[in-house]
Amino acid sequence: MQKWGRFARIFLRLSERFFVEFSHRLTSVSKFKSVGRGLLKHAEIDYVPNGVDRFDGPVASELPDEISGLADYLLFACGRLDETKGLHHLLSAYARLDCVSKLLIIGDFGHDQGYSDTINRRIVSDHRIVAYRALLPREQLLRVLSECKLFIFPSEYEAMSMLLLEAISCKAPVICSAISPNLEVVGEDYSYAYPPTSDEILTDKLQQALREAHWDEITSRLYERCTTEFSWSNIATTYENKYSEMTAFR
């Protein structure tokens, strides 16, 4: 809820009340979702995660001129850019990094104009940063993910991120914040997860990742974990079974 304004939060809470009261079955993509006792009833929520398909290789898709030709780059990407995405932490960590690799930023800068203005002021003086201030079509995004040197996901708050799953499906080397939904994807013992909001540790992780000699092994292990545990075909079967169970009691 942190990413929304006051009116949107009120509307979402009101919608949740109706979902809880009138739904026959509730599901969530996060194990950590709960329904507060302030609602009409305390409901049980079934965990059904997001899913991802196996990515078979780079997509033959032309990129916008602003980012075409980039190589050996670090990548931050999001949908709607706001403070919960943690880009300001990445900028602080990247500023301390003695690194020639460019940082490519992709996202919709029109969602939270105040935060976007702050980010724009911070990046204007660093020639290493390339910002594409709009969403990319999925085919182009997958290409950018598959070709990046590192994908950094510094969110302070998420449910289960489709973008993180897709980065892993592209075998991008991933650094992510150690919030519970991210650890659900990469595993509790993932060595490139770091405490959220800790800029200094993120700098250390970036330096370590740029020296890492075993990324093929790490990315392949993550790929197998995610495309097996979070396979869309398995998730579709889970939903089908839940609908069958529900209709059997009607």
pLDDT band at 195; cut points 50, 70, 90: very high
pLDDT (mean) for 37-44: 52
All structural domains of the chain, each given as residue ranges with its CATH number in brackets, are 8-48 (no CATH), 74-229 (3.40.50.2000)
pLDDT band at 37; cut points 50, 70, 90: very low
Report if pTM > 0.85: yes
The pLDDT tens digits for 109-144 are 998 999 999 999 999 989 999 999 999 999 999 999
pLDDT band at 249; cut points 50, 70, 90: low
- Which residues are CB-contacts of 20 (< 8 A; sequence separation ≥ 6)? 26, 35, 39, 40, 41, 43
